[in-house]
Amino acid sequence: MQDATFLAIARADKPRGPEAKTRRNKEGTWAKKGGKSHFGYKLHIKTDIDHGLIRAVETTPANVHDSQK
């Protein structure tokens, strides 16, 4: 069994703190699900159906489709 959950990250219009080098996370991406837009990452979890054990965990940009993992 496979499940994917969005992991939202903060998007700042202004840099945080005097040492900030970028204005936003460069690896996070936009995705749309159920009419809602999400910015950040997606957590993919593969679970053993018979025993409920987690077999694999992977984090990808939000725009990666569930079928690609």
Give residue 45's domain range. Answer: 2-10+24-68
pLDDT of 6: 82
Convert the pLDDT of each residue in 5-36 to its tens digit. Answer: 888 776 555 555 556 565 556 677 888 888 88
Q: Report the percentage of the chain scoring pLDDT > 70.
A: 74
Task: Indicate the Cα dihedral angle 28, 32, 37, 42, nearest 10°.
Answer: -40
Q: Would you say residue 63 lies in a domain?
A: yes
3-state helix, strand, coil in the chain (%, to 5): 5, 45, 50
pLDDT of 3: 79
**What is the reported pTM?**
0.62
Q: Would you say residue 29 lies in a domain?
A: yes
Q: Would you say residue 18 lies in a domain?
A: no
